[in-house]
Chain A
Amino acid sequence: MGAPGLSAFVAFAVGVTTILSLLLGDNPALFGDQPGSGELARRLAAPGDVLLQLAVIVVAISLIIGIANLLYVHVGRLARGRFYSAVVLASFAFTIFWYVTRRGDTSLLEAVQVPIESALAALLFLSLALGGARVLQKRADLWGLLFVAVTLIALLGSLPLAELAPLKAWNDWLMAVPVSAGARAILLGIALGAVVTGLRALLGQDRSYRG
């Protein structure tokens, strides 16, 4: 068995164990009124719990890989004379120094990170407004028109003005019926795709395991 075959086998074994453990474990009622059904359900749930805890630990460790990657990319850029990478690396070093020397002090976060994120959020509003205005340029069809019309009704209907009360009723109906139905349809589609993709990974057919 080559490396791809071995990784596919490991993926299959772990995947099937986890899914069976999640589906069959922790529910004694599934095994009827047998005397040992509670113990059996607990035993079936245990492998899934252990594997999920392992996954959580691995994901947490992957943050270190992320930081290493960030540093590697910016050190490389700095070597090519990129000034902003020097700012990133200096900020990183200073934040580490700050946290180590003033343990528990979050003033740097509040003084720098929060205002910058707030400024970006304000920019985000402008980008969204600009994007809304450009929709009809990109999609000059019925659907584009409908998109803009619904957006306008939703925005105007949200305003606390008595003159716009009829629009509020429209807005409520839009949110309760077509928007809700559309959102559920999209989520159902995503769920179906997720199931098929999950099974592909579970059966060792995913690209990562095929080599």
Chain B
Amino acid sequence: MDDTTVQVYSVIFVLATALLVYTARYFRGRRGRRRTQRKIAGFEQIPRWTLQSAESNRPLHLAFGDAGVGGEHTPSALAGAELFHHVIDGANASGIAPIVSMSAPSTLPLAQDSLRRAWHDGDTLSRARWSPRGLAYAGAVTASLAEDEPTAHVMAGSFGAELALMLECADRRGQPSLAVSDRLDGQAVAYALADHALIGEELFAASGYVSDDDAGHGDAAIIDVLRVLIIVGATIALLLGFSRELPLMSWQLALAGTAILFALVFIISRSS
């Protein structure tokens, strides 16, 4: 595929997604149009942890990891900030502000902004904490766990294998955790070591789960729609590929297979 084709496809994809986002938000804004979302255990724990934080007067720990604004992890930083905004907003009934840690300095204003919006008084400046990236960040966070004794950890952003140090330390101290990373090594560690792990795009759908925000619900729906479109596209490509290799397969059969797949997806989505 040459550069021109890629650019044309990119423009079409961006415009189509923008259209989808606005369409979803329009329908979300209408009454009686609420789609039931599948349950994600990790998100259901957050209100409980917030309550525990208020009762025990111990902070929540929210971590961006290496997700920073201005680099390839910018969407993760923005999605994490959106999630943390709702968590911090929910925690403002307690007397102690959550601690937000990050290893990308460009995320510091984002974290500070989220804290400042929810906490109008008190020392929010020292609650957003930057440490150098990688193992140094993991070392700083684990040291902080000993002193601040957070109620629970929500780690949403960009982490590598160093996430294991933080999660293991939290586990040893009996502090529950929710983790997700936009990097595969960090994601594997999150799945293995965190009490609750989000997978891949669930980080970006977070605001649709932790708040009643119509826009967030709309975005979660759009991600689901795009995911189904990719699954259908990949299935069609696979069936067409098979149809060229197998004498029994033909494009009619591939079409029929796709129609069956569509029907199955429809039935499953209606029944769940």
Contacts and interface: CB of A to CB of B under 8 A. Distances in A.
A195 B17 contact: yes
Contacts of A138: 195
A32 B117 CA distance: 50
Q: Is the interface of A mostly helix, strand, loop or mixed?
A: helix
Q: Is the interface of B mostly helix, strand, loop or mixed?
A: helix
Contacts of A67: 105, 130
B212 interface: no
A132 B171 CA distance: 13
Contacts of A27: 3-4, 7
B105 A66 contact: yes
Interface string B206-248: 0100000001000100110011001000000000000000000
Given A69-B129, A195-B17, A199-B17, A62 B105 contact: yes
A197 B71 CA distance: 14
Contacts of B165: 120, 123-124, 127
Given A27-B3, A194-B76, A124 B223 contact: no
A59 interface: yes
Nearest to A133: B192
Given A58-B106, A59-B106, A205-B215, A127 B192 contact: no
Interface residues of B, number: 75
Contacts of A200: 21, 78, 215, 219
Nearest to A32: B4
A188 B114 CA distance: 28
Interface residues of A, number: 61
B204 A194 contact: yes
A193 B21 contact: no
29 contacts: A23-B10, A27-B3, A30-B4, A30-B8, A65-B130, A66-B130, A69-B108, A69-B125, A72-B126, A73-B126, A76-B126, A82-B147, A117-B135, A120-B139, A124-B161, A128-B164, A131-B192, A134-B192, A135-B192, A183-B184, A186-B200, A189-B223, A196-B226, A197-B82, A197-B219, A200-B78, A203-B18, A207-B82, A208-B78
Interface of A: 19, 23-24, 27, 29-30, 55-56, 58-59, 62-67, 69-70, 72-73, 76-77, 82, 84, 117, 120-121, 123-124, 127-128, 130-132, 134-135, 138, 147, 183, 185-190, 192-203, 205-208
Interface of B: 2-4, 7-8, 10-11, 13-14, 17-18, 21, 68-71, 74-76, 78-79, 81-82, 85, 105-106, 108-110, 113-114, 123, 125-126, 128-131, 134-136, 138-139, 143, 147, 161-162, 164-165, 167-168, 171, 182, 184, 187, 189, 191-193, 195, 199-205, 207, 215, 219, 222-223, 226-227, 230
